[in-house]
């Protein structure tokens, strides 16, 4: 499929590829083993390469592109702001920064009324944890094994998943626990209710054995993202809130992936009416058009810094271009009903269609999700739940998933795959027609996985 508004330019692709190979050091990759697709442009739920191949984006890039590429209101806001004031240091006040903070606070639950801006999700978690340690005077933070919180030193150690292994120094002050995952229960639970009760009991025991007065915060993804789109049983997050309250521990919810409409609510916690002490965000706040993240801070936590300085800052905190993009994004989300659309998609399109695929494909072990945030978990054997590729696979073990991803791409669908899962995470603005077209392609491509059953 060719993009309608850009002429193919294969010569440009070769030049981009050559310069990339010579000079760009890519994240998470063995440099000699990758061949990144040179991307020429994007619009809405599609992007295209220089050869004119067009892809329907079922990944939202890194699950950040909630409003799709080139939203005219956001592009115009960035252009307007660039002509007016490209940068201003964080100790000045700025209209775009204050309006972005006001809008974010307006959509945040409870008394979370103040925003500390960062450049992305990792920095947001670093600062939220620092705030919690300063406010409580306690050293430890609890995070889940099945979690990703970022890639700098502290954030990587707060991360539970194998991405931490190569640089793990066993950082003091981080203690991990198991969260709920009914399909692969760490607690031998047979129902979601049992899983919920046992996961809460386990968390409380970890706290008791670590020493409640040594724990500053529990840091938790409201719906675990890259580690499987694990929607918690209904009582879990309210239960975590209650445990934190019992021991004077702050609750930090990492909404970097789940925030700003992804789950069909403004924030993941809204699905369960939970009010944390701190929320970290990034990605969807401006769909990643300009890097932006932040910590939304409760009045109670903010008050702790009324008379003592917060020891932390960033040159680009509240960058006016990023904040202008956030203001335009949030207003577009409000005016166009994008959050409601994401909820509708989950309920009427993605959920029903994926459940149907689970019936017809023997490789599908489970589908789960909310809004525009779904996972298809693939197995070799439904009875034993043996994973299609193992946890933390070697490149050779990952082959079945790579074949499946390639089958999607050949048909014009850009998927998000991780370990033994396909994450179905299109932009929240995707139309029913485009969503169904992407699901048709996924349905066909899943035959690749069925061959391994
Ligand atoms: N937290 C979660 C839940 C994430 O999914 C991510 C990134 O995928 C991060 C934190 C890190 O965000 P960033 O890559 O913007 O630093």
Section 67-74 average pLDDT: 98
Q: From ligand 1's centre to the CA of 345, what distance in Å?
A: 24
Q: Which CATH topology does 10-70+338-451 take?
A: 3.90.1150
Does the structure show a pLDDT above 60 at 87? yes
Q: Ligand 1 in contact with 148 (CB < 6 A)? A: yes
Section 425-433 average pLDDT: 98
pLDDT of residue 4: 52
Q: Ligand 1 in contact with 373 (CB < 6 A)? A: no
pLDDT band for position 97 (cuts 50, 70, 90): very high
pLDDT band for position 258 (cuts 50, 70, 90): very high
Q: From ligand 1's centre to the CA of 453, what distance in Å?
A: 33
How high is the ipTM of this complex?
A: 0.99
Section 261-285 average pLDDT: 98
Q: Which long-range contacts (CB under 8 A, 24 or more apart) does 266-270 make?
A: 266/107, 266/108, 266/339, 267/107, 267/108, 267/109, 267/222, 268/221, 268/222, 268/223, 269/109, 269/222, 269/237, 270/109
What percent of the chain is predicted at pLDDT more than 90? 95
- Tell me which residue of 1, 28, 59 sits closest to 262, measured CA to CA: 59
pLDDT band for position 1 (cuts 50, 70, 90): very low
Q: From ligand 1's centre to the CA of 39, what distance in Å?
A: 22
pLDDT of residue 103: 98
Q: Ligand 1 in contact with 149 (CB < 6 A)? A: yes
For the stretch 322-339, pLDDT in tens is 999 999 999 999 999 999
Which residue has its alpha carbon closest to ligand 1 atom 14? 121
pLDDT of residue 172: 80
pLDDT of residue 115: 98
Q: Ligand 1 in contact with 146 (CB < 6 A)? A: no
Q: From ligand 1's centre to the CA of 280, what distance in Å?
A: 10
Highest mean pLDDT among 9-13, 48-52, 236-240: 236-240
Q: From ligand 1's centre to the CA of 190, what distance in Å?
A: 31
3-state secondary structure labels for all residues of the chain? CECCCCCCCHHHHHHHHHHHHHHCCCCCCCHHHCCCCCEEEEEECEEEECCCEEEEECCHHHHCCCCCECCHHHHHHHHHHHHHCCCCCCCCCCHHHHHHHHHHHHHCCCCEEEEEEECCHHHHHHHHHHHHHHHHCCCEEEEECCCCCCCCHHHHHHCCCHHHHHHCCCCCCEEEECCCCHHHCCCCCCCHHHHHHHHHHHHHHHHHHHCHHHEEEEEEECCECCCCCECCCCCHHHHHHHHHHHHCCEEEEECCCCCCCCCCCCCHHHHCCCCCCEEEECHHHCCCCCCCEEEEEEHHHHHCCCCCCCCCCCCCCCCHHHHHHHHHHHHHHHHHCHHHHHHHHHHHHHHHHHHHHHHHCCCEEEEEEECCEEEEEEEEECCCCEECCCCCCCCCCCHHHHHHHHHHHHCCEECEEECCEEEECCCCCCCHHHHHHHHHHHHHHHHHHHCCC
The domain spans of the chain are 10-70+338-451, 72-335
Section 133-162 average pLDDT: 96
Q: Work out the angle at residue 36's Cα, subtended by the Cα atoms of residues 423 and 395, and round it to the nearest 5 degrees.
A: 65
Q: Ligand 1 in contact with 221 (CB < 6 A)? A: yes
Residues in the chain: 453
Does the structure show a pLDDT above 70 at 293? yes
Per CATH, the number for 72-335 is 3.40.640.10
Q: From ligand 1's centre to the CA of 76, what distance in Å?
A: 27
Are the folds of 10-70+338-451 and 72-335 the same? Answer: no
Section 158-175 average pLDDT: 90
Which ligand 1 atom minimizes the distance to the CA of 121? 12
Q: Which of 21-35, 198-212, 267-281, 350-364 has the lowest mean pLDDT?
A: 21-35
Which ligand 1 atom minimizes the distance to the CA of 123? 16
pLDDT band for position 2 (cuts 50, 70, 90): very low
Q: Ligand 1 in contact with 263 (CB < 6 A)? A: no
pLDDT band for position 11 (cuts 50, 70, 90): confident
Among 143, 150, 163, name the best residue to mutate to test ligand 1's pocket (greatest count of ligand atoms within 8 A of Cβ). Answer: 150
Q: Ligand 1 in contact with 247 (CB < 6 A)? A: no
Q: Ligand 1 in contact with 226 (CB < 6 A)? A: yes
Q: From ligand 1's centre to the CA of 413, what distance in Å?
A: 23
Does the structure show a pLDDT above 50 at 240? yes
Does the structure show a pLDDT above 90 at 170? no
| Other CB atoms within 10 Å distance of the CB of residue 8 | 16
pLDDT of residue 231: 98
Rounded Cα gap, residues 301 and 278, in angstroms: 8
For the stretch 173-191, pLDDT in tens is 999 999 999 999 999 999 9
Q: Ligand 1 in contact with 150 (CB < 6 A)? A: yes
């Amino acid at each position: 499929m060719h993009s309608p508004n850009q002429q193919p330019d294969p010569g440009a692709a070769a030049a981009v590829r050559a310069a990339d190979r010579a000079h760009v050091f890519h994240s998470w990759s063995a440099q000699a083993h990758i061949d990144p697709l040179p991307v020429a442009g994007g619009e809405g739920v599609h992007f295209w390469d220089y050869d004119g191949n067009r892809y329907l984006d079922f990944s939202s890039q890194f699950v950040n592109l909630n409003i799709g590429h080139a939203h005219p209101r956001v592009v115009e806001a960035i252009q307007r702001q660039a002509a007016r004031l490209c940068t201003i240091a964080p100790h000045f006040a700025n209209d775009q920064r204050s309006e972005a903070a006001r809008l974010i606070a307006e959509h945040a639950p409870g008394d979370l009324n103040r925003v500390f801006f960062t450049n992305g999700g990792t920095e947001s978690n670093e600062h939220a944890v620092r705030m919690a340690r300063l406010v409580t005077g306690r050293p430890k933070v609890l995070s889940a094994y099945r979690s990703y919180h970022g890639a700098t030193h502290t954030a990587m150690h707060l991360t539970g998943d194998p991405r931490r292994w190569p640089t793990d120094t066993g950082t003091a002050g981080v203690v991990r626990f198991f969260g709920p995952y009914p399909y692969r229960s760490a607690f031998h639970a047979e129902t979601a209710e049992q899983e919920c009760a046992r996961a809460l009991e386990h968390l409380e025991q970890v706290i008791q054995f670590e020493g409640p007065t040594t724990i500053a915060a529990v840091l938790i993804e409201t719906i675990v993202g890259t580690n499987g789109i694990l929607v918690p049983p209904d009582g879990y997050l309210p239960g975590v809130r209650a445990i934190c309250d019992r021991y004077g521990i702050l609750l930090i919810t990492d909404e970097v992936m789940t925030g700003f409409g992804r789950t069909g609510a403004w924030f993941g916690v809204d699905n369960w009416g939970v009010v944390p002490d701190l929320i970290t965000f990034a990605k969807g706040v401006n769909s990643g058009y300009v890097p932006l993240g932040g910590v939304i801070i409760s009045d109670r936590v903010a008050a702790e810094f009324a008379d003592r300085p917060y020891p932390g800052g960033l040159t680009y905190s509240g960058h006016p271009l990023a904040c202008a993009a956030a203001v335009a994004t949030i207003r577009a989300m409000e005016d166009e009903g994008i959050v409601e659309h994401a909820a509708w998609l989950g309920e009427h399109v993605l959920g029903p269609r994926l459940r149907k695929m689970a019936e017809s494909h023997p490789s599908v072990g489970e589908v789960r999700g909310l809004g525009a945030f779904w996972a298809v978990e693939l197995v070799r054997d439904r009875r034993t739940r043996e994973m299609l590729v193992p946890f933390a696979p070697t490149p050779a073990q990952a082959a079945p998933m790579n074949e499946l991803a390639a089958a999607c791409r050949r048909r014009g669908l850009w998927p998000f795959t991780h370990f033994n899962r396909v994450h179905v995470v299109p932009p929240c603005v995707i139309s029913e027609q485009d969503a169904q077209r992407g699901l048709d392609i996924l349905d066909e491509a899943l035959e690749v996985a069925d061959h391994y059953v």
